[in-house]
Structure 1
Amino acid sequence: MKKFKLLSLLLALSLVLAACGGSKEEGKEKASGSDFPNKSIELIVPYAAGGGTDSLARSFADQTDIGESVAVVNREGGGGAVGMQNGANAKADGYTVSMVTVELLTLPHSGLAQFSYEDFQPIALLNEDPAAITVSADAPWNTIDEFIAAAKEENLKVGNSGTGAIWHLAASAFEQETGVTFNHVPFEGAAPAVTALLGGHIDAVAVSPAEVRTQVEAGELKVLAVMSDNRVEALPEVPTLKESGIDLSIGTWRGLAVPKDTPEDVVQKLEESFGKTAQADAFKDTLNKLGLGYRYEDGEGFKALLKEQDELFAELIPSLELN
């Protein structure tokens, strides 16, 4: 009987200890979810070091204060497809953030990527740059209406940053909206296209204001119109297409996103911290120095933009004659 009582006492004691241990472990797991982040966060940049997206990412990583370091990792290839695919496939724990660009939408509709914007949970939009119709300073056209009239009479050469790239798509969308036809000339990036324009080898480019700002300030080029809803701060005298009755806003943008199944509490912490950095004057000053346009949207606003532009590119890209 004594032996039985002793065994019963030991069993009861073991159950109590197990219960205490279980509670401790459960509390530990709960805390690990609530103390995010507790290690370094990786920020994937889908392009090579030194470019505009990389410079933006590194400046943001240096300025953000989320409690842990943010390490930028370049995973270029496939026009951004490699890095963004890596980001979509990453563990959904908040420790891998992707710097996504407009190619998140254009690559899939061009048959060049398997992901879609729905594979990501948007965190914050940081930047937006419209396409700008730019010509030589001594070109005979001083308004976008004059340029359109000329394009209807002759086959103007318009340079872009590569077949199927955003600036090619912008010029093609402009064709559709105005009824003109261009001779599209692809280059390995916007910079060589601008160089060709300066050399008189092409008639115009449709790249971002930042990519022609230096030459405009030097009096070598002039911008006829920007493809945005509002005038660009860096070029306040340049009208939008909408001011000429052309309903077209298109360009590039950069933002932050995580895999779609990332826990809501982690997403909220990232939104709060990254949003604070994105709206700070120091970050806005950085974009200005880099010659990049500023636009901030929180996760919901960024998601709405992605949906709207995905529908645009789903209709636009299949209809293009990429010559």
Structure 2
Amino acid sequence: MKKMKRLIATAMLPAAAISLAACGGGDEESVEDYPSQEIEMTIPWSPGGGSDIEGRLVADHASDQIGTDIVPVNVPGVGGTVGLEELTDKDANGYNIGQIHEGLLVAHHSDVTQINYDSFEPIASMSSSDQILAVSDDLGVDTLEEFVEYGQENEIQFGGTVAGIPRVWVEQIGRELDINYNLVGYEGIAEAIQALAGGHIDAAIVDYPSGSDFVESGDMKFIAIGTEERVDRTPDLPTFVEKGYDITMGINRGYVAPEGTPPEVIEKLEAALEETANDEDYIEAVENVGASVNFMGTDEYNEYLDNQDQIISDIISEISEE
């Protein structure tokens, strides 16, 4: 009974005075005083991939907007689900946030994890990365036409996270191009790219920041991009669409907080991320690594995730029924 009285009393306080300690924050602090300590950002992937690179850019630039340090922490494992599962158990006090993208939705509908985007409080989407079909230099193909011809006579070994969005993309490419293919599982795009550069696999779906150095060094080649039209940074790279294939691929990287994080805190984080997304230094930094700023506020991001969840659920169901 005493516990119930305390809960009722808390509910009657003004919103700005709600104690973050009630959300696991330790020492009492009102939302009005937030933030008063550093914020930890879980990046559920290994260092070096596109998600890690873009997450660190967000942390660096958003720290100035929110008024405290945002500290990235890599917690890789099982297609990005280990770090996010750990995040669900962290204090919902505004000092724990994490990065997600469409891969979490694939992992959920593939029965890899019980958590999904709605296990969190979505804050905002910050950037998007166009996805590119890259092949090993050892494969001996230079164009998409040669790739299709090779794949119709041989089995192409793709690398990627089996429990992530690459699984969906590989299925789309394999079916649309009518090639023989197999997906070799790796823990994140960084590992898949290392395998591709070493000639251990034939192909992978990568983003520009993750693969550009390996292309410049001659270890792999970009042969098609999953955008509707060609992009300025790779003007000579054709799209699947212009080659007659109905394939588009992209990732939107966003940020979430543990379920139960106070709405007023989510609003402060959303505002800081929006200011970051409009900052010219951040925009330049994101574009320099080959990505694009794509801000969606809390409401719009929730709607986007709802729509993507239905699309991915349908695709995984089709795959499972075969």
Normalising to structure 1: TM-score of the pair? 0.76
Distance (whole Å) between structure 2 residues aligned to residue 62 and residue 98 of structure 1:
14
Asked whether the equivalents of residues 193 and 211 of structure 2 are also in contact (C-alpha less than 8 Å), the reply is yes
Asked whether 1:317 is paired with 2:319, we answer no
Shift of 1:269: 1.6
Partner of 1:241, secondary structure, is coil
Asked whether 1:104 is paired with 2:104, we answer yes
**Which residue of 1 is the match for residue 31 of structure 2?**
33
Moved more, 262-271 or 85-94: 85-94
Distance (whole Å) between structure 1 residues aligned to residue 187 and residue 263 of structure 2:
40
Q: 1:206-246: per-residue Cα shift (whole Å, max 9, x none)?
A: 32233332243345543221123443443122222222343
Q: 2:42 aligns with which of 41, 44, 48?
A: 44
Distance (whole Å) between structure 2 residues aligned to residue 117 and residue 26 of structure 1:
29
Q: 1:261-306: per-residue Cα shift (whole Å, max 9, x none)?
A: 4333322221111111133222233334445454332223322332
What amino acid is aligned across from residue 263 of structure 2 in structure 1?
E
Shift of 1:115: 0.7
Asked whether the equivalents of residues 156 and 203 of structure 1 are also in contact (C-alpha less than 8 Å), the reply is no
Asked whether the equivalents of residues 48 and 190 of structure 2 are also in contact (C-alpha less than 8 Å), the reply is no
What amino acid is aligned across from residue 307 of structure 1 in structure 2?
D
Distance (whole Å) between structure 1 residues aligned to residue 264 and residue 167 of structure 2:
40
Shift of 1:113: 0.8
**Which residue of 1 is the match for residue 23 of structure 2?**
none
- Taking a change above 3 Å as real, the CA distance of residues 296 and 158 of structure 1, as seen in their structure-2 partners, is farther
Asked whether the equivalents of residues 134 and 220 of structure 2 are also in contact (C-alpha less than 8 Å), the reply is yes
Instruction: Please list, as runs of the form range in 1=range in 2, the aligned pairs for 1:85-234 lying within 5 A after superposition.
Output: 85-135=85-135, 142-152=142-152, 154-187=153-186, 189-190=188-189, 193-194=192-193, 197=196, 202-218=201-217, 221-234=220-233
Distance (whole Å) between structure 1 residues aligned to residue 221 and residue 46 of structure 2:
30
Task: Report how many residues are paired.
Answer: 296
Shift of 1:202: 4.5
- Taking a change above 3 Å as real, the CA distance of residues 28 and 201 of structure 1, as seen in their structure-2 partners, is closer
What amino acid is aligned across from residue 70 of structure 2 in structure 1?
V
Instruction: Please list, as runs of the form range in 1=range in 2, the aligned pairs for 1:264-303 lying within 5 A after superposition.
Output: 264-303=263-302
Distance (whole Å) between structure 2 residues aligned to residue 197 and residue 46 of structure 1:
22
Distance (whole Å) between structure 1 residues aligned to residue 191 and residue 76 of structure 2:
20
Shift of 1:105: 1.0
Partner of 2:66, secondary structure, is coil
Asked whether the equivalents of residues 158 and 206 of structure 1 are also in contact (C-alpha less than 8 Å), the reply is no
Moved more, 261-270 or 286-295: 286-295
What amino acid is aligned across from residue 250 of structure 1 in structure 2?
M
- Taking a change above 3 Å as real, the CA distance of residues 54 and 202 of structure 1, as seen in their structure-2 partners, is closer
Partner of 1:212, secondary structure, is helix
Distance (whole Å) between structure 2 residues aligned to residue 226 and residue 301 of structure 1:
26
Asked whether the equivalents of residues 99 and 254 of structure 2 are also in contact (C-alpha less than 8 Å), the reply is yes
Moved more, 135-144 or 288-297: 135-144
- Taking a change above 3 Å as real, the CA distance of residues 270 and 179 of structure 1, as seen in their structure-2 partners, is same
What amino acid is aligned across from residue 29 of structure 1 in structure 2?
A
Distance (whole Å) between structure 1 residues aligned to residue 197 and residue 32 of structure 2:
56
Shift of 1:76: 3.4
- Taking a change above 3 Å as real, the CA distance of residues 57 and 187 of structure 1, as seen in their structure-2 partners, is closer
Distance (whole Å) between structure 2 residues aligned to residue 51 and residue 195 of structure 1:
11
Kindly name which structure, 1 or 2, has the bigger radius of gyration based on alpha carbons: 1
Asked whether the equivalents of residues 78 and 163 of structure 2 are also in contact (C-alpha less than 8 Å), the reply is no
Shift of 1:116: 1.3
**Which residue of 2 is the match for residue 56 of structure 1?**
54
State the identity as a percent.
30
Unpaired runs of 5+ residues, structure 2, are 1-12, 20-29
Distance (whole Å) between structure 1 residues aligned to residue 248 and residue 281 of structure 2:
28
Shift of 1:50: 5.4
Q: 1:136-182: per-residue Cα shift (whole Å, max 9, x none)?
A: 56867554345334433x12323213433433431122123343331
**Which residue of 2 is the match for residue 15 of structure 1?**
none
Distance (whole Å) between structure 2 residues aligned to residue 192 and residue 97 of structure 1:
25
Q: 1:49-94: per-residue Cα shift (whole Å, max 9, x none)?
A: 5554344333322322212332333433333222212333444332
Distance (whole Å) between structure 2 residues aligned to residue 196 and residue 84 of structure 1:
25
- Taking a change above 3 Å as real, the CA distance of residues 95 and 162 of structure 1, as seen in their structure-2 partners, is closer
